[in-house]
A and B are shown apart, each in its own frame.
Chain A
Amino acid sequence: MTDITKDATMPPRSFLSQDAIQVFYRLLAAFLICAVLAVLSDSFLSLGNILNVLRQASLTFFIASGLTLVVLTAGLDLSVGANVALSACIAGTVIHKTGSPALGILAGLACGGLVGLLNGVMVTALRIPSFIATYGMLWVLNGLTYWYMAGETLHGFPAGFRQIGSGYLFGLPIPVYLLLVFLGIGTLFAQRTIWGQEIYAIGANPVAARLSGIPVARRLLLVYAVSGTMAGLASIIFLSRLNSAEADIGESLTLPAIAAVLIGGTSLFGGVGTVFGTFIGALILTLVLNGMNLLSVSANWQPLVTGIIVILAVWLDMKTRRRAQ
C-alpha cells in the first residue's frame, strides 16, 4: 500500500511522486524490449514500424484508458470488449441506414456510454460488485449483439469515415493523434483535476472518501460511463480501420485491455496507477506481438511468450514498488 491509502483524503497528488518512479520503470521495460527487438530484427527500428506499433497500440489503449479509471476506484469493467462489439455493430448499421458517418459515430459513442452508465447504476444504486455486474453485462451485450447480427457481417463504409482509422495527417496515422489527445486528456484529468483526485481517493479508501464529502456514487457513475464511452470510441476506430464488424470482435479485446492496465501499474485494489502507465502497458503488449511477427516466432510459442511477459511485467512492478517504499 502506498501513502495515499494512509492519507486518502489529501489531494492534490503530484505527478512527480511515487507514480513517476513507477512510470519510469515501465518506460525502462518498454525500452528494454525495444532494444532487444532492434538487435534481433533490422526492420524493427524503422519509422514505418514505430508508427505501425503506435497505431496498433492505440486501439488497446482507448479501451484500457477508460478501464484504468474504473480500476483506480478498485472496480473492474469486464464488459468493455462486448461493448465494443455492440457499439461497432450499431454504429455500422446507422452508417449503412443513414449514409451519415457523423450519426454513426454518435450512435457508437452513445451506445458505449449508455452501457457504461448502466454498469455504473448497477454498481452504485444496486450495489452489485463491479466484477459481477459487468460480467453480467458482458452476457447481456453478447446476447443482444448475436441476436441483432444473426451471423451476418457488416462491411463497406464511406471513404471519409475510413480515414479515422486508416488515414494519415502530416505523415502520422490519425489513430496516433487520437492516442496522444486521449493520453493527454486522461493524464490531466486523473492528475490535475479535483474529480480525478477524488477518483484516486475513492479507490484508496471509499469510506474515508465518503466521510470527507466526496460524492462517491456520482464519481463512480462517471467512471463507468467514461469506460463505456471509450469502448464506444474504440468501436469507431475498429469499424473504420477494418471496414467491417461482426458479433464476435469483442471477445479478444477485453483481456489485453485489462492486461495493459495491470502491466501499466494500476493496482486492482484501487487508488494506485496512471493513465500514462496504461499507455506503456498497451505499448508493451503490442511490441511483444510485433516482435514475434517480425521474428516469425512459431504460432505454437506466441501465447506462451505473451503470458511470460505479462507475468514478468507485473512481478517487476511489485518488486520495484516495494523498493520504492
Chain B
Amino acid sequence: MKQKLAYLTLPLLMAAALTTEVRADGETIAVFTKNQTNPFFQTVRVGADNMAKTLNAKTLQYIPTKPDSIPEQLSQIEDVVVKKPSAIVFTPVDYKAMVPGVEKINEAKIPVVNITDRSAGGKFLSFVGADDYSLGLETARFMLKTLGGKGNIVIIEGVKGSLTNVDRVRGFNDALKENAGAKLLASQPGNYQRLQALQVMENLMQSNPQIDGVLAANDAMAVGAIEALDGANRKAQVIGINGTKEAIDAIKSGKLLASGDYNGFAQGCLGTMMAIRSLRNQPVIAEIVLKPTVITKDNYQPFDVPLEQRTCPTFEEASKLGAK
C-alpha cells in the first residue's frame, strides 16, 4: 500500500522537485511539547531542531511554562493559529483534553503531525510515537530473563491514569505472567518522581526481606530505587524506561540493568521530517510506531553520545522503524 503510494507520487515528486526547489526551504515548523522539565521532551526538541536544520527549515518551540498545563497549551494553539507556521508537530499535554485544540488547528488548515502521545481525535497527517506497552513488556522480559525467570519482583508505577503509565505497567504485568517463577510482591505508585520512588522502595524493603527485581515505569524512579537499595546495602536488578542520559550512565556503571528506549530524539526527527515532507509534496508515512529497544550494558554505546551529536534517521530507515 505504502509502496503503491510511493510509485504514484514519484512522478509528481520529480516534477515538484524541479518547480519547488527554490521556495522549498525556510518553512517554519511549530513544535509543541508537554513541558520543560522532563529530559525526554528535551530530546524531542533537539531531534526536531536537528531534522529542521538538515532540511533547511526553522523550528518554533511551544512549551507550557507550567508543566503539562492544558489551558496553557490551548492558548498556545490559539496563538499559533494566528501566526500560521508552515506546519505543526504536536504532542498533546493530555490526549483527550487537547482534541478541541487540534480541531482548531485543523480548521485553520495548518498541516499537523502527532508525536509521542496519540491524540484521541482531530486530523493528523502522520503519527510518530513509541509503543509504551511493548517497551514495558520487552524491558521486563529482559530483566526476568536475567533473573532466570524467577524471583520476587516489585513494580513502581508512574502517574496513575497517565497513558504512558497504564501501558508500561500493563507490559510489565504481562511479562510477569509469562514467567510462572516470578512473584509480584507489590505494585506501588512513585508518580514518576525520584524521591517518591526512593521512599516507596525503602518502605517495601521493610516488609519484604528478599526483593530480586524492580520494574520502574521511568528512569528517574529506577535510579531512586537504586539509591534506596544502596542505602540499605541490598542488591536487586532494576530496570527503567526512557533511555535518559542518567540511565545510560547507570547502565555503564552496572547499577541499572536496562532501560527501554523511548527514543524522543527519533520522534522529534521523524515528526519534523514528516511535516516538512508533506509541505514539499513528498510522500509521508501515516504511522510510525518505533520498535522497542532495550538498552543494556552490551548495546549502550550508540546512546552514550551527546544529543547534539546524534544523527536523525533517514526516510528509508524510518520506513523500517515504522513497519507495522
Contacts and interface: CB of A to CB of B under 8 A. Distances in A.
Contacts of A142: 65-66
Contacts of A243: 223, 227
B203 interface: yes
A93 interface: no
Contacts of A41: 207
Contacts, number: 110
A118 interface: no
Chain B binding surface, main DSSP class: helix
Interface stretch (B129-137, B190-198, B288-296): B190-198
Interface of A is mostly: helix
A293 B203 contact: yes
Contacts of A139: 65
Given A155-B246, A244-B246, A293 B188 contact: yes
Contact of A238 (B195, B203, B204): B195
A100 interface: no
Q: How large is the interface on A (under 10, 10 to 19, 20 to 34, 35 or more residues)?
A: 35 or more
Interface in B143-198: 157, 160, 185-189, 191, 193-196, 198
A242 B198 contact: yes
Contacts of B198: 241-242
B3 interface: no
Interface residues of B, number: 41
Interface string B293-313: 000000000000000000000
B227 A242 contact: yes
Given A52-B206, A294-B207, A155 B249 contact: yes
A247 B198 CA distance: 17
Interface in A28-62: 41-44, 46, 48-49, 52, 55-56, 59
A143 B67 CA distance: 11
Interface string B186-223: 11110101111011101110110000000000001001
B37 A242 contact: no
Contact of A56 (B42, B202, B224): B202
Contacts of A208: none
Given A49-B206, A246-B194, 6 more contacts: A41-B207, A56-B202, A153-B245, A166-B227, A249-B193, A299-B187
9 contacts: A48-B206, A142-B66, A146-B65, A147-B36, A150-B42, A153-B39, A248-B67, A289-B203, A303-B160
